[in-house]
Structure 1
Amino acid sequence: MGILIQIFQRSTIIFVNLILYYQDVDRWGFTFQIYAYQSRLMAWDRQLQQLLKNNQQSKEPVLVFTERSIESARELFFKLCYNDGNISQIEYEIYEEFYQWLMNHYPQYLIDCVIYVNTPPEICLERLIKRGRSEEVSVPLDYLKKLHQRHEDWLSQKSNRFQTIKIDATLNYVQDQKIKENVRQLLVLEIQRLQKLLN
């Protein structure tokens, strides 16, 4: 089995869009969401094409790990913008039409499992401040609270066809080896389960 851990490269355009987005969500909401969607899709496509090229001789299934997915972009960030009234109805319909077309034609982009690193909004804000990225300085706590609730709402839906693994991100994984090992075991078991499904 091949495993690809995908890392999206940050670009100057994303930094600029993110700054504009947090400064004026009404103006830049759809622009940022569609750009984030497009850049994530292009990154996925590049990685998948490379993976398929490297894996031509093997018939074993491949698991792909990514920080975020096209589904999570829609369910979390895009729908939050729409629910807050920062995206118009016509913008919503444009996004949705493309999303539905994409998922119908390219089912390889559908996720099988979500690893939910569950972090309270207040701790997220502390970590944003500590990280010190210029494009994140204007992220309000209220936005993080709403985003956290979107995660909870989406991942608790009984209709979800994917498995969800919850990890408590308030625990100290850096210093506590026992906690780190427990999470590692949890992830190994899930990978083995996915392998069996794919074989």
Structure 2
Amino acid sequence: MLTKLIVPNKLEPKERKNGDGYFITISGNVGAGKSTFTEIMGNALEFNTSFEKVVGNPYLSDFYEDQSRWSFHLQLYFLSQRFQDQKRIGELNQNHIQDRSIYEDVEIFAKSLHDNKKMSDRDFDTYSELFYCMMTPYLVKPDLMIFLDGSIDTILKRINQRGREMEQKIPNDYWIDLHNRYKNWIKNYTHSPVLVIDIDKVDLIEKPEQVEIITKEIKKILK
């Protein structure tokens, strides 16, 4: 199977009004193909798109050189960018697909840095408090989470293939830790239904016929 739908047991149906836009967010480890998936599926669904800001990020290269020194700064930058993006999505109320969810910032990346002693208790507590204060009153929940899942071998291969110099300096243990955290996190995600895409089998560039299959699946879920 290319896809698998997961609907949390305690998920309350989202109240919708005529004219409400659908909001899809994409999650997955570094190298899973979120940006490519967002671009292709955004075109196929005729949804607005937004992408994680990597080019021009003022902290990313420093972070990869010294994670302990720059972890708090990087996470605050991503949180600021993602909050502005998701707030705008809610205000516009149009069909939209987003490259990486805001939930991953605190529940995957910040926790990983904290657990691995690369973010202090003080910084993690401050960051987490800010995150949850921003989340509840201001941000719209997604109608669908699409999780790009696959083997760690596929993730590592893609990271190596795209050849970003700053990523090549990071030990594989870092990517493996994130991979395992994603596996556990998605099991406990409850904000929306989850469509799991098997990236070991799905390649929207090499197998464009899969775009139509996944498009139909997404439309069926949203309706």
Shift of 1:48: 4.5
Q: Secondary structure at the match of 1:185?
A: helix
Query: In the alignment, which of 179, 184, 196 is matched to residue 215 of structure 2?
Result: 184
* Contact kept? 1:121, 1:141, Cα under 8 Å: no
Query: In the alignment, which of 123, 145, 148 is matched to residue 114 of structure 1?
Result: 145
Confirm or deny that 1:5 pairs with 2:49.
yes
Unaligned regions of 5+ residues in structure 2, if any?
A: 1-18, 22-46
Structure 2 vs 1, CA of residues 48 and 163 (structure 1 numbering), >3 Å: closer, same or farther?
Answer: closer
Number of aligned residue pairs:
178
Confirm or deny that 1:156 pairs with 2:198.
no
Residue number in structure 1 paired with 2:173: 142
Identify the structure with the greater helix proportion.
1
* Contact kept? 2:148, 2:198, Cα under 8 Å: yes
Confirm or deny that 1:102 pairs with 2:128.
no
Structure with bigger gyration radius: 1
Q: Percent identity?
A: 23
Q: Secondary structure at the match of 1:111?
A: coil
CA distance in 2 between counterparts of 1:107 and 1:9 reads: 19
Calculate the TM-score normalised by the size of structure 2.
Answer: 0.70
Unaligned regions of 5+ residues in structure 1, if any?
A: 53-61, 193-199
Shift of 1:112: 3.7
* Contact kept? 2:48, 2:97, Cα under 8 Å: yes
Residue number in structure 2 paired with 1:22: 64
Query: In the alignment, which of 105, 111, 115 is matched to residue 83 of structure 1?
Result: 115
CA distance in 1 between counterparts of 2:165 and 2:49 reads: 26
| Matching residue's letter, 1:167 | I
* Contact kept? 1:118, 1:168, Cα under 8 Å: yes
Confirm or deny that 1:70 pairs with 2:97.
no
CA distance in 1 between counterparts of 2:211 and 2:136 reads: 38
| Matching residue's letter, 1:41 | F
CA RMSD of aligned residues (A): 2.3
CA distance in 2 between counterparts of 1:41 and 1:5 reads: 15
Structure 2 vs 1, CA of residues 10 and 25 (structure 1 numbering), >3 Å: closer, same or farther?
Answer: closer
Q: Secondary structure at the match of 1:161?
A: coil
Confirm or deny that 1:45 pairs with 2:83.
no
Q: Secondary structure at the match of 1:42?
A: helix
Shift of 1:153: 0.7
